[in-house]
Structure 1
Amino acid sequence: MEVKMFKFEEDKTYSMPPFFGGTVFDAKLTATADILSLNFTMNTDDKTLNKFLPKGFELLKPELTISLCQLRACNWFVGGGYNLIQVQVPARFNGKHDQLEGVFPLVIWENNTIPIIGGREQSGQPKIFADIQDLHSYNNKYFTNASIFGETFLRLEMSDIKFWEKGKLEKAKAAGPIPNNVFGWRYIPKVDGPGAALNEPILYPQSTSIINGCCAKGSVEWIPNKKNVYNYIIKQLADLPVHGNISVNSVAGTVFMNALKGRVLR
């Protein structure tokens, strides 16, 4: 009697563990969520930022943005939600076939493993886990923190909030979903030695519809700690100089994440 074995089907896409079946690939499927994002932007040292970017990418300006995002009512998440902190730089990809401007995430912390797994495997997003508090408010200040094993490694605070003027807000609403080219890099190490089994730049298209926005002053505090398993990342970010004040641009709306419309950049 022939034993039926598992096999991969060409018209399906799989995620780990793949042995229970895949789904038919449909590029029209879009992940959506209600989003509140606080984007802390600072001017810093371009030489140091350039050291983080892989070949093919160009730093557009010496600017680092740390974004706290609260995602809720996620359509792929049974209506649930999660928090993330994304550290990114503005960048341009200069390839043989693709020339695009967008943002290059250096690291993304998330407080749920489900989006971490998909984002890493499929879209090359540099996602790792952390406990990230919901946004809290007191005396017209908004704040949160991120920790690992109970040790806080980042504190964010927004103050002196000024909501957008009516004209600016109406213009943003009328614009509809604002496209955002999010870059990624899929790196899978070899099993039997140094080097990569997979090593390629990725485009992960996203867009955001805005329903409200404000600007504010920001405070960012990195807390290096040798007990933190990601201290080698935190220490390098903490060592970046900050030139001038930290500004915050905050928006609320709907985010559209088109992972299945992503592609390898050439």
Structure 2
Amino acid sequence: MPTHFGPADGPRQWPGDAVADPKRSKRTLSVAASFLTDASALEQHLPEGFTLAGEPAVTVEFHHMTDIDWLAGRGYTMIWVTWPATFKGSRDRATGKFLAVVWENLTDAIITGRDEIGHPKLYADIEEARRLDGVQICTAGWRGFRFLELEVSQLHDAETNQQGPASDGNLMLKYKPRTGAWGEADLCQVTLTPASDPDRHVEQRQAGVGTVRFHKATWADLPTMHHVVNALAALPVIEARGGTVTLSRGGKSYRDQRVLV
């Protein structure tokens, strides 16, 4: 919206004279860290039809993106919080990363991503990634309240073609409320981003020791999302599961997103 001016341009819709090159754009610095937590705590935050798949490991990923073609060379940053899950519907079954929440620091990407592909996106102030004394540091906040810190230290080179566990892709819940009928849904569906991304090329990967910390917030600290941050802050960190720093180029536009039933 507003649709009466025509379709909204974005990563999946382009003006006629613009040129996209998914093998070149975008350039991404990804910083991730994982930790093992309590399975029953994670299960509380899975929608109907989902179950945990494997170990209850939470991964937080900062993706600092530059040279984005659909933004005419500009960039922005996204944060993903995921854990492994399986969805079983009336027709479909898929196992992969359950995308619990996404934070981004660009409203344009938030709006189109929520509406078109069902990503659970929120806004955050995300600082530029920085490296100090060999430690990669990432932080996020909202209007002065820092709610997330991630660090990867003791970095060393790792294989660029390293493969993770077998996955059908990223799973998420797309939800739109019904206007005037509070608590009811106009739309509630599970969407899948297939794992295949042939245009993405990893140029460098490093591994190390990763740490993640969510800071508990009051309502006054984060009036619109303290419940999200506090749910993540309440997850016990049983064991750190390492971190990575990855430099890549290219990537898909999520036009292959589909609904699971």
TM-score higher than 0.5: yes
Deviation at 1:205, TM superposition (A): 3.2
For residue 180 of structure 1, report the CA deviation from its aligned partner.
6.5
Runs of 4+ residues over 4 Å off in structure 1:
23-26, 29-32
Question: Could you tell me which residue of structure 2 aligns to residue 214 of structure 1?
Answer: 206
Q: 2:44 aligns with which of 45, 51, 55?
A: 51
Letter in 2 for 1:20: F
Cα distance in 2 for residues equivalent to 1:199 and 1:30: 33
1:173-215 Cα distance to aligned partner (Å, 9 max, x none): 9x9xx98612222111111212101111111235242111011
- CA distance in 2 between counterparts of 1:248 and 1:191 reads 42
Q: Which amino acid aligns with 2:145?
A: E
State the secondary structure of the residue aligned to 2:73.
coil
| Residue number in structure 1 paired with 2:16 | none
* Greater C-alpha radius of gyration: 1
Secondary structure of 2:110's match? helix
Q: Which amino acid aligns with 1:209?
A: H
Distance in structure 2 (CA, Å) of the matches to 1:138 and 1:71: 20
- In structure 1, what is the Cα distance between the partners aligned to 2:193 and 2:3? 22
SS in 2 for 1:49: helix
Report the Cα distance in structure 2 between the residues aligned to 1:144 and 1:231, rounded to whole angstroms: 20
Q: 2:173 aligns with which of 152, 173, 185?
A: 185
Match for 1:190: what amino acid?
Answer: R
Question: Judging changes above 3 Å, is the alpha-carbon distance between structure 1 residues 110 and 96 closer, same or farther for their aligned structure 2 residues?
Answer: same
1:237 aligns with 2:229: no
- CA distance in structure 1 between the partners assigned to 2:229 and 2:190 by the alignment: 24
Question: Who is 2:7 aligned against?
Answer: 22
Contact 1:30 1:256 in 2 (8 A): no
Deviation at 1:255, TM superposition (A): 4.5
With 63-72 and 97-106 compared, the bigger mean Cα shift is at 97-106
What is the aligned counterpart of 1:36 among 29, 38, 58? 29
Shift of 1:23: 7.7
| Contact 2:171–2:190 (CA under 8 A) maintained in structure 1 | yes
Local SS of the residue matching 1:120: helix
Pairwise CA RMSD: 2.4
Task: Give 5+ residue unaligned stretches, structure 2.
Answer: 14-19
Task: Give the conservation status (yes or no) of the 8 Å contact 2:34–2:212.
Answer: no
Please tell me the residue identity of whatever aligns with 2:214: W
Give the match for residue 252 of structure 1: 247
Fraction of identical pairs, as percent: 28
Q: What is residue 123 of structure 2 aligned with on the other side?
A: 129
Query: Which amino acid is 2:251 matched to?
Result: F
Residue 264 of structure 1 and its aligned partner are, at CA, apart by 1.0
